Amino acid sequence: MKSRLAFLSSTLPSPALQSSVARSTVRPAPSRLPHRRYHFVPKRTSSQSNSLYPKSTPTILTASASLSSMASSFYPEKARVPTAVQPPTPPIAKFKIGLCQLKVTVDKERNILHARTAVEEAAEKGAKLVVLPEIWNSPYSNDSFPVYAEDIDAGFDASPSTAMLSEVARLLKITIIGGSIPERSGDKLYNTCCVFGPDGKLKAKHRKIHLFDIDIPGKITFKESKTLTAGEAPTTVDTEVGRIGIGICYDIRFQELAMLYAARGAQLICYPGAFNMTTGPLHWELLQRARAVDNQLYVATCSPARDAAAGYVAWGHSTLVGPFGELLATTEHDEAIIIAEIDYSQIELRRTNLPLEKQRRGDLYQLVDVQRLNSE
């Protein structure tokens, strides 16, 4: 099923615009009900008789009651279509995450063995969830993608990278967000992230939705679309360590996807990514903190280590950000294994501190999860 994101606003003047990834359209917003902030009655004094105040006279509303009434008239529940769901209670709500920032070479077998060693080290340090970088088994280039691509659906014999991930997840009893590798499916190539559970089974597969096509003259030009095909579905997956949304690198620039994941009840979004030396210093940390604080959830990113001699030089700086936008752990550009703690009770705390879900204006705007809407 094809899935698209739609951001609707009652104030948009233009007709619907559609693309293979995003669609904007106009939907009439629910009409607002008239309301008042407070109801006032005459001030009562000790000399006044109770007969002056018949039972039918409105009583004074407290500020909190008035605000609640005002919020309900804004239809916050209609700001998400379908209605947002609450995060589930995972088997493990407090755990360690491992982010493996690895140097990638032209030797595929070496890359696979090196990634396995890093996952094992992270697990030894207590990580129950381990994340690998974007394109960790191959150099990041349009020339390399077809050469290093694996047919994941054909089984482990055709995909040594995912075979390793499955085996190590099963042996170590951990969940692995397998970064991404070039995937071959028929005559198409994808940038694909596989998620494996503690039983070694493939729990989810996310194909990069937004392809990295940029042109900054004198700095960097790259067109993933020369070789890769865009994925067609957002991905959330229920694991032992919570409900996780998956994005790959450029996906992080599109706030609609993160908003959609939050509305689906995601507690953590993982973005394997390889930002470059131009956009990395400016946007990498900024985007992670924005996605986390806007949606009041955890965001984890994992980059390849920097190789100055490579055709594409990664920024590095793999990071974990908390639901208040705080940097919980990060590193520089060299190889590193980051171990940090995630505690989902912090999500509830921050959503109590700032009750954004109850303050949205469903009378003015809506985010539509087309995939969920079409499945109902």
DSSP assignment letter at 311? S
The residues near 131 (Cβ < 8 Å, ≥ 6 apart) are 97, 98, 99, 100, 176, 177, 179, 270, 272, 300, 302
Reduced to 3 states, what is the DSSP secondary structure of residue 160? helix
Residue 335: active-site member: no
172-176 long-range contacts, Cβ below 8 Å, gap at least 24? 172/119, 172/120, 172/123, 172/198, 173/198, 174/119, 174/123, 174/127, 174/128, 174/129, 174/130, 174/198, 175/128, 175/129, 175/130, 175/203, 175/239, 175/240, 175/241, 176/119, 176/129, 176/130, 176/131, 176/132
> Do 23 and 366 contact (CB within 8 A), yes or no?
no
**Exactly one of 100, 193, 194, 249 is catalytic; which is it?**
249
> Do 147 and 140 contact (CB within 8 A), yes or no?
no
Residue 226: active-site member: no
The Cα 55–Cα 78 span in angstroms is 36
**Exactly one of 100, 108, 134, 302 is catalytic; which is it?**
134
The Cα 186–Cα 337 span in angstroms is 35
The residues near 344 (Cβ < 8 Å, ≥ 6 apart) are 87, 90, 93, 94, 242, 267, 298
The Cα 300–Cα 131 span in angstroms is 8
The Cα 246–Cα 343 span in angstroms is 19
Residue 208: active-site member: yes
**Exactly one of 193, 203, 208, 285 is catalytic; which is it?**
208
Active site residues: 134, 208, 249
